[in-house]
Structure 1
């Protein structure tokens, strides 16, 4: 894989900025990699602005910096989490995904060019995440109630944590770094411990979510919202675990977190398809209809490179290169203007349903999609590999 890969992505980045003009790309793309725009208000709002900052960090082009500035008013509105503004603008209330929205944007901006407004937005987002910490169970509550939820699902959410949280937790580590307030560090570290204890299985595979009694903190068991079934291993969740525990080691230097990241990485590598692809779920039946998730592969590549950075073990770099080579060979979107996206073949869903194997296997929401978070982590992984001196959101 050559450095030309980075230049190709930068070309699309510049051209996409002319298309988006301060609007956000949809969370989902299309089979051919064309991307529509949409109004903000979702957990994916940070990924496109973050890609602009990655590009700026690489080349220090003020054009990309100025393009990022278009999104700051929206981020300031979103972190306020005002119910009236949310209703008027169609913003979802903030939940545990504030790291995806604000760490990759305002925190990153503050790292690149210290800025009081960005720092204030980042700290307010960190306070929002800290407010979700359940002391009894030592975990960060994942989701809010949604319109149409049943009473049972609302109760279920009160005691639910999910594996995606590990990439949001660095927001708390950064807030501790910025303020010295130990409550940020304590909540982050204890949450990672709880994920380690309950979501990671003995073989290194992971649950998507885990439930606790919200009052007593008693563990109730693992669940899935996006995998094949409750005891299977959703590949994007496995990638979040691999990368998240590696980042937790960065901020704590706790060897048990590093060991868990390696355990998750070993499961990842031994569970891939013979082609080197990551199926949407590692335990789903392996047949010609099994969806691939390129976004999981992008996230895992970042995690492998993080492990290589801190262990020096060549196998982790080799794993990342194999992952990225496969993405480039089989899942790269066509050149602009045929496609604005970087990657094809991401999969979102399915929501778990009881029923026949056919229903469980193929009732997914979207397969063969271009996913903005898959593109973000693909860009980050290439920069990590080819330009290790580039400042990333995690470098504090």
Structure 2
């Protein structure tokens, strides 16, 4: 066994022990952010965008280990999310983040008919947000009919799945229209990415781009880069459209160049002022998963660039930004939701940081399954 294989196996065993301990405390609760060593419970905010990640983490480990207790806990969370369908008005484009890691994961692994129905319900809701004038899916609600955010590239994977599940191409048509709109208006020529594009909802014309969760207009929010890397790589996996893979590679190469200057752990924004120094480990965990997806689709001589970069980033988290204490919640430390968040929200464990870290380790071990 090589040193790298030994590190991966040791990390995998730590993950199993940590998540088992967390499962005893969290159960079918819905964790988001950990403060003072305990994850909160978003069960009372049922339409919150991250509410699927704990279920996805459990399904990944169920697939890897065969632990049926993890599956049972994930099913409890999946059932809880039915309330979000009833509330409806709080739902937006992040139905992909909510039901791909829960209902669709359950269906893919077990064939559950009820889970299939939930996934298709979510896909119909997402397709219903399509704007045919601008060829985009609106991201948020309220007065933001023309707003599109880079995070959407993960959510459209739900539409590719729905086309496969129903043999109905209309979902794929919507996803492809949206992906091309994002590619042309949000991804910049140098591989950096804006967080938000605002379109005129009546004409589809681009009005402006905004900094959103990054530092500001024209900046480079690192998790936005990660959403783009993984989102376009997965879109390629579903469609084999070369433009998607080339876009994923362009953004990944930009990310690799920038994260190399900060010890393989990204700043919240690659174009923020030098002070304060704010990290976002969730960005590197997600980007690593995207790079490993890219590696599956490029020629053999290209693969080491992406596999090695992903491995370095995941190892930096495991060695320097992970909490393996079984009595506290949250594996990945120093994740940050947004550059301008309150101090209490900066550099904390976040459930999606844990999810992508676990997915990345399982990918390197060949123990993951296609959740997206």
Tell me the TM-score range normalised by the shorter chain. over 0.9
Q: Equivalent residue for 2:3?
A: none
TM-score (norm 2): 0.93
- Of residues 208, 225, 239 in structure 1, which corresponds to 2:195? 208
Q: How many residue pairs align between the two structures? A: 360
Question: 2:67 is matched with which residue?
Answer: 61
| 1:229-286: CA deviation from partner (whole Å, max 9, x where unpaired) | 1100100000000111100110110111111000000110111233222000000122
The answer as to whether partners of 1:228 and 1:284 remain within 8 angstroms in 2 is: yes
After superposition, the C-alpha distances for 1:286-333 in whole angstroms (9 at most, x for unaligned) are 24x210000001000101100111114211100111111111122112
| Correspondence list, 1:237-386, <5 A | 237-272=224-259, 273-287=261-275, 289-311=276-298, 312=300, 313-337=303-327, 339-351=328-340, 366-386=345-365
Shift of 1:33: 4.4
1:150 corresponds in structure 2 to none
Question: How many angstroms does 1:335 deviate by?
Answer: 1.5
Q: Specify whether residues 108 and 214 from structure 1 end up closer, same or farther in structure 2 by C-alpha distance, changes over 3 A only.
A: same
**2:53 maps to what in 1?**
47
User: Which residue is equivalent to 1:114?
Assistant: 111
Distance 1:163 1:48 in 2: 22
Is 1:29 matched with 2:34? yes
Once residues 166 and 295 of structure 1 are traced to their aligned partners in structure 2, the CA distance between those partners, rounded to angstroms, is 17
Q: 1:185-204 residue pairs with structure 2 within 5 A?
A: 185-204=172-191
Q: Unpaired segments of 5 or more residues in structure 2? A: 1-6
RMSD: 1.5
- Residue 220 of structure 1 and its aligned partner are, at CA, apart by 1.0
Whether the 8 Å contact between 1:348 and 1:364 is mirrored in structure 2 is: no
Contact conserved, 1:33 with 1:370, CA < 8 A, in 2? no
- After TM superposition, give the deviation of residue 72 of structure 1 in Å: 2.8
For 1:121-160, list aligned pairs within 5 A. 121-145=118-142, 154=143, 157-160=144-147
Gaps of 5+ in 1: 84-92, 146-153, 352-361
Alpha carbons 2:8, 2:361 under 8 Å: kept: no
- SS of aligned partner of 2:24: helix
Counterpart of 1:356? none
TM-score for both structures, normalised by structure 1: 0.88
